[in-house]
Amino acid sequence: MSEIKKSKYMNPYLAGVLLGIVVLAANYISGRSVGASGAIKSAIVASVETVAPKHAETALFYKEYSQGHTGNPLNNWLVYQMIGVLVGGFLSGVISKRLTWKVEHNPRIKSRTRLWFALGGGILFGLGSQFGRGCTSGSALSGMAVLSLGGFISMMAIFGTAFALAYFFRKLWI
Amino acid sequence: MGPLVVYEVISQNTNLLLAFFIGIGFGFVLEQAGFSSSRKLAGVFYGYDTVVLKVFFTGAVTAMIGLLFFSLFGWIDLSYVYVNETYLTSSILGGVIMGAGFIMGGFCPGTSFCGAAIGKIDAMIFIVGLFIGVFIFGEGYPLWEEIYKAAYMGTPRISEFFGISEGLIALLVIIAALLMFWGGEWAEKKFPREEY
């Protein structure tokens, strides 16, 4: 089956070593590591504080956040880091000529179906990342790098569940 | 001695600036590896493309070994490196919800930003979902605060939890990763799929 065509991407093991060096650099410089969902949490807290300041003062989630943080929620390590991710991803797309507006989906499903599942998946991932105190980046990858027990539990729960459910969502992908 | 910000080698503002550059490196590597494509990410769950497994575990192993050697050489004080707290119940619950989101949406938060950066509309919609999901958690917080804070275990490293040395744990993780890489290479030959 060697005739199956493949796009050119970096060798995955080389990419993995480079990813490890990024995580190592983050720990060496900042004593912490990469994460994505934390930046979204900061953005949500900042939005609610701006749009509904009364609500932000009384509702427990936002109160607990402001007790643990000082200053503007957007002036945050993870927020700057995620802006960098957008820039870095864009630069990579420019270099490898992958910039295009596209709904990537299996030709056997409609693009609208893909988008509904993307929305639903995003909602679940957003919700789950709060229970998990971090997502695949912040909890699983960063956690495993520092041998955190929580990191290994997150990793196994995320990948284990996705494997367990893969059969039921196979029409989306294969 | 690192972490540089803890030892005040760099200021807080420099730290935030460097966060931006670390993010550029993170986003660049993820996109180069193909993590901007939900098709490639979901592939690991069907065997046709196991790039997630290879990149994720090579990355975790590289960083883990790097940190252990940096510590051995006295370049970094691991006691000042952030270790995430372990709340057993919500960690498992969160992971299960995230796993369901992963197989439905084809992205995780970091990779969806990479996809969005090169124009993937499905990635942008996924990000909209992320914001909704975090907002739902925030608004419903009193309902699940108890579950969220249950079974607190502190910030144990897996080596402390099992009472074995960090080096031995690292070796076991490396062996596990190599076995998974072997399985991944086998699966890609066994379950090939045409690209779309």
- Give CA separation, A43 vs A60, B81, B158, in Å: 17, 25, 32
**Percentage of chain A modeled with pLDDT above 90:** 93
pLDDT tens for each residue of A109-119: 999 999 999 99
Report the SS3 class of residue A102. Answer: strand
Amino acid at B111: T
pLDDT in tens, B82-123: 999 999 999 999 999 999 999 999 999 999 999 999 999 999
pLDDT at residue A27 above 50?
yes
Q: B28 CB contacts (<8 Å, ≥6 apart)?
A: A88, A89, A91, A92
Average model confidence (pLDDT) for chain B?
96
Q: Does any CB of chain B come closer than 8 Å to the CB of residue A52? A: no
Interchain contact B69–A (C-beta under 8 A):
no
Helical segments of A52-141, H only? 53-58, 60-68, 77-95, 111-131
* Contact (CB<8Å) B121/A102: yes
Going by pLDDT thresholds of 50, 70 and 90, the confidence category of residue B75 is: very high
Per-residue pLDDT band for A62 (boundaries 50, 70, 90) equals very high
Check residue A142 and give its pLDDT. Answer: 95
Tokens of B139: 């608004």
The pLDDT of residue A143 is above 80: yes
Say what the pLDDT of residue B17 is. 97
* CB distance B50 to B43 below 8 Å: yes
pLDDT number for residue A3: 53
A1: pLDDT strictly greater than 50: no
Predicted confidence at residue A4, as pLDDT, reads 56
- At position A139, the amino acid (one-letter code) is S
How far is B190 from chain A, CA to nearest CA, in Å?
A: 9
Give this complex's ipTM.
0.96
Average pLDDT over residues B65-92: 96
CA A32, A38, A39, A41: dihedral to nearest 10 degrees? -150
Instruction: For an interface test with A, give the residue of B130, B135, B194 to mutate (most A CBs within 10 A).
Output: B130
pLDDT at A70: 87
pTM: 0.95
Contact indicator for B15, A76 with CB cutoff of 8 Å: no
Q: What is the pLDDT of residues B147-171, one digit of tens each?
A: 999 999 999 999 999 999 999 999 9
Give residues with Cβ within 8 angstroms of A153, minimum separation 6.
B86, B88, B91, B92, B95
Chain B contacts of A134, Cβ < 8 Å?
A: 84
Of the CA atoms within 13 Å of residue B29, those in its CB half-sphere come to: 24
Instruction: Please report residues of A whose CB lies closer than 8 A to that of B106.
Output: 117-118, 121, 172-173
Q: Please report the residues numbered 60 through 119 in chain A whose beta carbons come closer than 8 angstroms to any beta carbon of chain B.
A: 60-62, 75, 77-78, 80-93, 96, 98-107, 114-115, 117-119
Query: Cα separation of B93 and A84, whole Å?
Result: 30
Contact B19 A126 (CB under 8 A): no
Residue B117's alpha-carbon distances to A80, B47, B112, B124, B178, in angstroms, are 15, 26, 8, 9, 32
Residue B133 near residue A115 (C-beta atoms within 8 A) = no
Domain ranges of chain B: 84-155
Residue B39 and residue B16: Cα distance in Å, rounded? 33
Closest CA to B54 of B180, B138, B157: B180
DSSP A72-88: -TTSSHHHHHHHHHHHH
Between A2 and B132, where is the model more confident? B132
CA distance B34 to A14: 13
